[in-house]
Amino acid sequence: MAIITLLTDFGIADSYVAEIKAVLLAGAPQANLVDISHQIPPGDVQAGQYLLNRSWKRFPDGTIHLAVVDPGVGSERRAIAAQSGGHRFVAPDNGLLSFLPKNARFVALAIPAKASPTFHGRDVFAPAAASLATGASLESLGKTINDPYHAPLPTPSSDGAAVVGEVIYVDRFGTLVSNIPPELVEPGVRIRVAGTEVGPLRRTFGDAARGALVAFTGPGGTVWGLRSGRENSRGAACCAPTL
Amino acid sequence: MAIITLLTDFGIADSYVAEIKAVLLAGAPQANLVDISHQIPPGDVQAGQYLLNRSWKRFPDGTIHLAVVDPGVGSERRAIAAQSGGHRFVAPDNGLLSFLPKNARFVALAIPAKASPTFHGRDVFAPAAASLATGASLESLGKTINDPYHAPLPTPSSDGAAVVGEVIYVDRFGTLVSNIPPELVEPGVRIRVAGTEVGPLRRTFGDAARGALVAFTGPGGTVWGLRSGRENSRGAACCAPTL
Amino acid sequence: MAIITLLTDFGIADSYVAEIKAVLLAGAPQANLVDISHQIPPGDVQAGQYLLNRSWKRFPDGTIHLAVVDPGVGSERRAIAAQSGGHRFVAPDNGLLSFLPKNARFVALAIPAKASPTFHGRDVFAPAAASLATGASLESLGKTINDPYHAPLPTPSSDGAAVVGEVIYVDRFGTLVSNIPPELVEPGVRIRVAGTEVGPLRRTFGDAARGALVAFTGPGGTVWGLRSGRENSRGAACCAPTL
């Protein structure tokens, strides 16, 4: 029973996601569908890339990932499928899969003549994912390409005295997710967020005075910041406005 | 493994949907549950009808659709089940299934004495859907009726010079979904939305100047309008306020 | 195929829930994952307790419930697993499971050295739930404890003349959920909400003049209040501001 994950910016109020799932289950009745998120901000390829990159490796080998954040749907951008190790992906060729390692394989998907120009998620990507789930090989889905659009997330720089990163994601709790790996943060070093002193790197957001901004190594593997408070430490939107 | 889809106005914050799913899985452990939407505006039978009508035929034969947008729960309104081709439905008799073809069959469901008067989704519709999923026939669930409440979505009219439709749904992206089939829109004809000229029918929302309002044939099969923009073409709420 | 339910305050926009599901499916590929809610207000253990208590018994025996509303994650609070009848639970030891009967069994889970201090949902609770789903016994997961943190929902009191309860939850529709069992409400007794007279206990929210506040026995088994209206009886937030 192949797992197919779904990540889109379609939201959950409309029927778009359900129409994709209907096509997946019509083509691959045994597939196990798992939502990653449908709340990517509309057209925000970078946010989609961040969340998919966090998630995909935790699923077992054999998983297929359908990712559709696709502001250019119906334009000349290609539709692609990719394989890396035991994981396969279908997505628009707009940088959404830029986290894949260099040895990943890519093919360009054919666009069926009857596909709606505004809903490739249902008419292009879902049929391709269903084919993969029922035994099709990556190469059977289209012609190999070697130039997928590459737009990786920004990486931190150094000005000699300091490592300078940026906030690449803000989560439901108002947590500011930076792109700084903790191994670049030496013990005792001072951390600043938009000019505000945060103090040294802590173990968790509970390790700070209530209401204080705290930096810690987040479960995504980089340095995160959050306004703390022991009883209800993760007030939504607590931090975003002031930083 | 029968698919059971769920469409409600219960939202996803409370436990209502989970209580329905618990009853479905207690009665039909092999059922494959697929959410269509739980974000129908409270009591908006027309929005529910629109989304269910878009989705149901894409699911494979044998699928059961549980639909509960039910402002009259606990009143005299009947609870019904229906069958059309290989698809079956359970829903309140308030017009939610008005899209079904004339040859669909309908039965009135019995209301168990212990059913909560305010939660037929859990106590009436879920047990009926579970019965269907485990082999019960439609007719075993209740007495045949021939007069289901019929309240179809509005259809466009013509004033001779023009086809006049209406917006029947607004999606997450602010897309205005009209009820005008594209075959009524002759090539080159002018399209207006609430007095604003939109220009001719386009292929997709990318085919317009950035920020311009564009009409295109949406993936639901009717004429849709959206404010365009190549990079982030579907800004939430971009259009609704001004049209 | 064991059912694993999920209840968290992680929301559905980020990848947190998907990372938990990935760990569950990597460890227990046959598990059937069912969301109860991920929209518990951040850190609101009482709301989580209320929704889980409503839902768990409706699932079949053998179900495993993963519940993570965990403002103290990474602190000294214990991580626990519990069993009551055929149901098993994994949760932080912060009162979230206080509804379990006195004869429930509890163990303290070991915290793996590599667990992220801020994401025990993924690194502690999900592996434990997957182990239970694949045959592990409760006692194999940790040392038995007899003192789980106990913080039950408030119960109504009596001042002789009146039963005094409180609103313990407000749902999507603005329904005020009290903790008063209907058997304490004698026929014809007057009901007041924050000083406003509501009238006698009704059968359903339709049984009142449109716009009037109505009290009825909710499907959760206690007395609920809602502003009524036959056509669209459950306007979101209709009641909360005025009561």
pLDDT digits (tens, 9 = 90+) for A49-77: 999 999 999 999 999 999 999 998 888 89
A/C interface, count of CB pairs below 8 Å: 98
Using only the alpha carbons of chain A, give its radius of gyration.
20
Structure tokens at A225: 């910041």
For residues B237 and C121, the model is more confident at C121
Give the Cα separation of B185 and B179 in Å (integer): 12
Amino acid of residue A234: R
Cα-based distances in Å from A91 to A27, A107, A139, A144, B242: 18, 11, 15, 15, 33
Which positions in chain C touch A5 (Cβ < 8 Å)? Answer: 18
Which pLDDT tens digit goes with each residue over A116-148?
Answer: 999 999 999 999 999 999 999 999 999 999 999
CA distance A12 to chain B (A): 6
Non-local CB neighbours of A99 within 8 Å, separated by 6+ positions: A49, A52, A53, A152, A153
Cα(A168)–Cα(C193) distance, rounded to whole angstroms? 46
Tell me how far the alpha carbon of residue C222 is from its chain's centroid.
15
Which helix (H) or strand (E) segment is A27 a member of? helix A16-27
- A230 neighbourhood in chain C, CB within 8 Å: 71-72, 75
Least Cα distance to A50 among A121, A143, A151, A144 occurs for A151
- pLDDT at residue A242 is higher than 70: no
Q: Where are the alpha helices (DSSP H) in chain B?
A: 16-27, 45-55, 120, 126-133
Q: Across A176-190, B207-221, C77-91, which has the greatest mean pLDDT?
A: C77-91
Tokens of B200: 């001719």
ipTM exceeding 0.90?
Answer: yes
- Which residue in the set B12, B74, B122 is minimally distant from C39, CB to CB? B12
Paired tokens of A82 = 């990719």
Condensed to tens digits (0 to 9), the pLDDT of residues C120-147 reads 999 999 999 999 999 999 999 999 999 9
Binned at pLDDT 50, 70 and 90, residue B229 comes out as low
A84-110 CB burial, b ≥16 within 10 A, e <16: beebbbbbbbbbbbbbbeeebbbbbbe
Mean pLDDT of B30-55: 97
| pTM (predicted TM-score) | 0.93
Tokens of A114: 């009857």
Per the DSSP assignment, residues forming a β-bridge with A155 are none
Quote the tokens at residue B183: 């075959």
- Identify residue C118 by its one-letter amino acid code: T
Pairing of strands A167-170, A176-178: antiparallel
Which residue in A60, A173, A234 is closest to C25 by CB distance?
A: A60
